[in-house]
Amino acid sequence: MRPFILALLITTFAHAEDTPEEKKLDWSKPETVEAFFNFAADKYKWPATVTSHKASYNAKEKPAIFGVLFEIDKPVKDDMTKTTYAAANIIGQIMAKGAPLDKTGVIFKTKDGSTATVLLPPADLKKLGDESIKGAKADKAALNKMVGALIAKCDWKEVDALIKKDMKPAP
């Protein structure tokens, strides 16, 4: 059964890469970029602490900014790191498809309204997206190396502060 599922996934990725309808999409339009992110994100199994996601893209003004708001139950560093990596992978694919992104990142928002932002380096995202978009043909070792480098470059100060704040007992 496993080989069948793997073959089905490979076929799906191969077909999706050269679908003619996809080439007609205008990747400079917010509705295209946001719809792609939401479509891909809806298929992903996010960590249990993530309750929702919402993508937002503004390309009318420069710099072109793309961000994703993740509402979370509780700030958990491992979950936030996994969420950031998964979002970076999808954003990288968006860039590989041609969306002009100058600045991008993720925002985590807790139930009490506290937020933490993690900015993502666009050049690294583009490289990640170029490889990731290959689907089953992607070089897994290269992807892991790129993800490790990307996560290491991110500034996690706001995330760490949010976690620290959450650990303090209420007065």
Q: What is the pLDDT of residue 170?
A: 59
**Whether the Cβ atoms of residue 107 and residue 68 lie closer than 8 Å to each other:** yes
Angle at the Cα of 144 (from 153 to 162), degrees rounded to 5? 40
pTM above 0.75, yes or no: yes
Residue ranges of domains in the chain: 25-167
CA distance 73 to 49: 5
- Please measure the distance between the N-terminal and C-terminal CA atoms of the chain and give it in whole angstroms: 55
Determine the residue type at 98. Answer: G
What token pair was written down for 83?
């969420």
* Residue 88's pLDDT band (cuts 50, 70, 90): very high
CA distance 109 to 107: 6
Q: What is the pLDDT of residue 148?
A: 86
